[in-house]
Amino acid sequence: MHKSLTSFRSKTAAAVLTAAFAAIIPSAFAQDKPAEKKYQNAAEYEAFNAVIKDVTAKDFNKAIQDLQTWKDKYPTTDYSEDRDVLIIQSYSGAKQLGKAIDYFGQLDKNGIDAAFKDPGNAIKALFAVVVAVSTYPEASPDQLAIGQKAAQELMDYNHKPAGVDDAAWANARTTQLQPPAKAALLYIAMLPGNQAYTKKDYAAAEAAYTQALQKYPDNAAIAYQLGMSLRYEGKRNAAAYEFLRASQLDPTLGGTSKADDVNKYADTYYKNLHGSDEGLADLKTAVKNSPTPPADFKIKTATEVAEEKQAEFEKSNPQLALWMKIKGALADTNGDQYFAGQLKDSAVPQLRGVLVDAKPACRPKELVVAVPLPGGNPTPEITLTVQPPLAGKPELNTEFHWEGIPTAFTKDPSFMLNMSVEREKIEGLKTNPCTAAPAGPARKKKG
């Protein structure tokens, strides 16, 4: 899942390039020159022809040199627009994308219509810049602004080139011009966040992606990348929100990821945070309402859920909770030290248990007690030495309360805590009168 950023970049750029090469407008050097255009002389034609040979051979660095020679010798020409397009295309072909964008920016200061009178040249120049900015992750803020303007101009451009009928032009606008323009605008919106994310400046990435969401509130790729930035910042609640929102909007993240992978990642992240899938279904519905979580949004962590359950348990079962803490400490590796240093000869608050044995059965001095968990089996864990002994016969398997003082403890071979208990501090233990032993047969007196 961490490959999504690179995947989104490459596939967005690929979409733009595919549309660019499928455009209905042919390349500048292949287009027939209108009759009103004329070369100033044969030397200018040769200069132009040299550039065409370079571009045809894809020797774009040589084309840039020859274009500069042509421009130096013939700064004013009927083919200035064609030359400008070739300069932009050659910079792009030579991977000098920043120069392609900057050159177009100088031309486009007063808008595309002022820069190019020929619709064909305008479209080719706009395409070249849209492609350049969509494949240039190092673009500066100024270059992004130029690219954004070009993409918007391509979106809105509606000057039909010569020789193209109305139906073909309408189809070309919606299927070939606008899709790459939209992709470029999205790429530009995400790029500041992508750049910061690549540098591991996650705070800056968070700010940039959040700003991008203001323009594209329903874009799953931005939401997902925002989630990744928040995750690395340790903002786990907000990260879970964005991951789930991305999965609900478009789990393919614009066709760059597998839907099952994104859905699984979002669900797993939530469950690892919360400790279960409790509340997950409701949150999946709620995330659709806003691109960012509400100010008071909070997912309880697994630790917080456990602490709440423990607090609730302690409130409803204070005596059992107390014994569980004592037993846990005694059963620990340092249990003997805990007993000797903290528990022995110290008064323990009231505990509750079930009587499993009494020794002797009548007027016992010892009570063997179990403290079972709800639904658990009673296992002897505590021996109470009662002072003075009980007055009757206690009923086994009955629950009662007591307060006592620990006097001894053994962990092996079986767990047992011994406590000294005063008889009056035992409550709720049911007892019956001790039955007298039956008398034997009477003996006859000797006469």
pLDDT tens-place string over residues 65-91:
999 999 999 999 999 999 999 999 999
Query: What does the block give as tokens for 167?
Result: 């139906």
| pLDDT at residue 373, rounded to an integer | 82
Contact present, 426 and 402 (Cβ < 8 Å): yes
What is the rounded distance in angstroms from the CA atom of residue 240 to the CA atom of residue 273?
8
User: For the packed helices 141-156 and 97-107, what is the interaxial angle rounded to 10 degrees?
Assistant: 60
CA-closest candidate to residue 362, choices 388, 391, 386, 384: 391
SS3 21: helix
Contact present, 350 and 401 (Cβ < 8 Å): yes
What is the rounded distance in angstroms from the CA atom of residue 133 to the CA atom of residue 139?
7
If you write DSSP's letter for every residue of 269-295 in order, what string do you get?
A: HHHHHHSSSTTHHHHHHHGGG-SS--T
What is the rounded distance in angstroms from the CA atom of residue 224 to the CA atom of residue 182?
19
pLDDT tens-place string over residues 141-192:
999 999 999 999 999 999 999 888 999 999 999 999 999 999 999 999 999 9
**413: exposed, middle or buried (Cβ count in 10 Å: 0-12, 13-18, 19+):** exposed
| pLDDT at residue 202, rounded to an integer | 97
SS3 338: helix
User: For the packed helices 302-316 and 318-331, what is the interaxial angle rounded to 10 degrees?
Assistant: 120
Query: What does the block give as tokens for 219?
Result: 């874009």
Helices (H), 141-235: 141-156, 166-172, 178-198, 202-215, 220-233
Element (H, E) at 2: none
User: For the packed helices 220-233 and 202-215, what is the interaxial angle rounded to 10 degrees?
Assistant: 160
Contact present, 288 and 245 (Cβ < 8 Å): yes
pTM as predicted: 0.63
What is the rounded distance in angstroms from the CA atom of residue 268 to the CA atom of residue 285?
17
What is the rounded distance in angstroms from the CA atom of residue 339 to the CA atom of residue 327?
10
| pLDDT at residue 375, rounded to an integer | 72
The segments of the chain whose pLDDT lies below 50 read 2-3, 6-35, 447
What is the rounded distance in angstroms from the CA atom of residue 224 to the CA atom of residue 400?
57
Query: What does the block give as tokens for 72?
Result: 């130096």
The residue written with tokens 């999946």 in the block is: 284
What is the rounded distance in angstroms from the CA atom of residue 54 to the CA atom of residue 90?
9
Contact present, 123 and 161 (Cβ < 8 Å): yes
Distance of CA 381 to the CA centre of its chain: 47
What is the rounded distance in angstroms from the CA atom of residue 139 to the CA atom of residue 98?
7
pLDDT tens-place string over residues 9-27:
444 444 434 444 344 444 4
Query: What does the block give as tokens for 326?
Result: 């004592």
Fill in the DSSP letter of residue 23. -
Q: Average per-residue pLDDT in the chain?
A: 88
